[in-house]
Amino acid sequence: MDGTKMKPVTPGNVVERNIRLAGEVIRYLAEHPRAFSLMPDDFELVILPDDDPEMRSYNLELLGQYAREDKPVVFARTKSAQEYISDEISVYAPIAA
């Protein structure tokens, strides 16, 4: 890690942190529009920050609680400790078997 101190995951700051990361994922997708052609039309987005295991676990727990069976899931792996992280995002859309 680059020395940036991460806030502990609490209901109060998890929304703020997820909104910031979602904004970065949207920025990445805007800069890489071809990624949309590889994704399903209607999906659930789960952000998995590699450098924040608590946040990653929290987001996976939310997926387990609120995911709809009729919607595919798209995972965005990223880092949360940087100011501008768009170059550090990997988007994965599972392929239906």
| 2 has a pLDDT exceeding 50 | no
Work out the mean pLDDT of the chain and round it to a whole number: 78
Domain CATH code at residue 34: 3.40.1350
pLDDT tens for 5-23 read 555 556 668 888 888 888 8
Structural domain for 64, as ranges: 11-92
Residue 62 lies in a domain: yes
Q: How far is CA 69 from the centre of its chain?
A: 19
Phi, psi of 91 (to 5 degrees): -110, 130
Q: What's this model's pTM, rounded to 2 decimal places?
A: 0.72
Phi, psi of 49 (to 5 degrees): -70, 120
How many domains does the chain divide into? 1
Residue 1 lies in a domain: no
